[in-house]
Amino acid sequence: MGGDYYETLEINRSATDAGIKQAFRRLALKFHPSRNKEAGSAEKFLQLGEAYDVLSDLRKKATYDKFGEEGLKGGIPTEFSSQTGAWSSAYVYHGNPEKTFRQFFGSDNPFADFYTNELPLQFGGLEAGVTKNQDPHIERDLHLSLDDLFHGCSKKIKISRRVMNQDGCTSSIKDKILTVEVKAGWKEGTKIIFPKEGDQGPTNIPSDIVFIVRQKSHPVFVRQLNDLIYKTDITLEMALTGFSVDVETLDGRLLNIPINDIVHPTYKKVVTGEGMPLSQDLSQRGNLILTFNIQFPVKLSAERKQLIKQALANNKILMT
């Protein structure tokens, strides 16, 4: 609420229970949205409901008087906390001032004593015929390693949300564990939706919680869709004369891949079927693509230059 409950009800801290009730009756009737159309009346009516909900309850009022709004809503140590470490439950207003209003007057039409030609009031938080609206969905990133996305896994995520109590009016904050079954081959940006797992309230449909896959970087492979890119350094000699590359796959196998071609700067070696599994068909996989960083010598002696010239000249003769 962020204000003083006594100031909201326009009373002092020594007010009796009868005085609290009298103040709420007067102000609630004055600021009820059905009778007061001025800007801010609905917000004032909500504040009145919360203030009365606290000050009319002896335990809540005692906590508020001693520890203020922060202690009331944040929880305080109980009288036995030195033995048990227990804290009181945090107070959360149910957010339905109409409910507080109806409970106070004990009538479906508290304006009956001074009936006007206005339309009858509707209670319970929603007018008749009005449907609840769902809160906007909540997005959270789900960071997964490349190994998680290669093999698939199960991830448990703890969320905290507001849950309505059995009385249908008050609510409390509770933890819940959501389990995401990660399927092998999922890509960056995949969305997992948990319907209506957001905060509950008397007048809303809880929002959906949406987890979005974010792939962590890998020390060896770079993923491109369903392909895995593996980059390795080679010498100029290797690029010209051939070599083999050992690659340990994500499932623990060691591949020995011979390279018999001359490796130029844009050369790539494609190994079919050694990439990521396809989530829609786990029997299929993308490719493993080898790329190479050719390390040229920084400088050459005159003798080595001459030998290279001779080798290239001989190669030119063989090509003609």
pLDDT digits (tens, 9 = 90+) for 229-269: 999 999 888 998 899 999 999 999 999 999 999 999 899 99
* Spatial distance between the Cα atoms of 263 and 241, rounded to a whole number of angstroms: 9
Q: What is the mean pLDDT of residues 53-62?
A: 90
Strand, coil or helix: 155: strand
pTM over cut 0.75: no
Residue 118: pLDDT over 50: no
Q: Which residue has the tokens 């068909």?
A: 281
* Spatial distance between the Cα atoms of 313 and 308, rounded to a whole number of angstroms: 8
pLDDT at 88: 62
- Estimate the crossing angle of helix 97-105 against helix 41-55, to 10 degrees: 60
B/e letters for 245-256, b = 16+ CB within 10 Å, e = fewer, are bebebbeeeeee
* Spatial distance between the Cα atoms of 210 and 252, rounded to a whole number of angstroms: 33
Q: What is the mean pLDDT of residues 62-83?
A: 74
CA-based radius of gyration for the chain: 35
Q: Which two tokens stand for residue 269?
A: 């070696």
Same fold, 5-114 and 221-319: no
Amino acid at 290: L
Looking at every residue in the chain, the average pLDDT score rounds to 83
Enter the CATH code of domain 135-214. Answer: 2.60.260.20
- Domain residue spans of the chain: 5-114, 135-214, 221-319
β-strands 171-182, 227-235 pairing: unpaired
Residue 162: pLDDT over 60: yes
DSSP 228-267: EEEEEEEEHHHHHH-EEEEEE-TTS-EEEEEE-S---TT-
* Spatial distance between the Cα atoms of 102 and 52, rounded to a whole number of angstroms: 13
Share of the chain above pLDDT 90, in %: 43
- At 200, is the pLDDT very low, low, confident or very high (cuts 50, 70, 90)? confident
Residue 6: pLDDT over 70: yes
Q: What is the mean pLDDT of residues 29-42?
A: 85
pLDDT at 125: 44
Enter the CATH code of domain 5-114. Answer: 1.10.287.110
Q: How far is CA 36 from CA 29, 163, 211, in A?
A: 9, 31, 43
Which element (helix H / strand E) includes 268? strand 268-271
* Spatial distance between the Cα atoms of 153 and 146, rounded to a whole number of angstroms: 11
Enter the CATH code of domain 221-319. Answer: 2.60.260.20
Q: What is the largest CA-CA distance in the chain?
A: 115
| CA contacts within 13 A on the Cβ side of 213 | 23
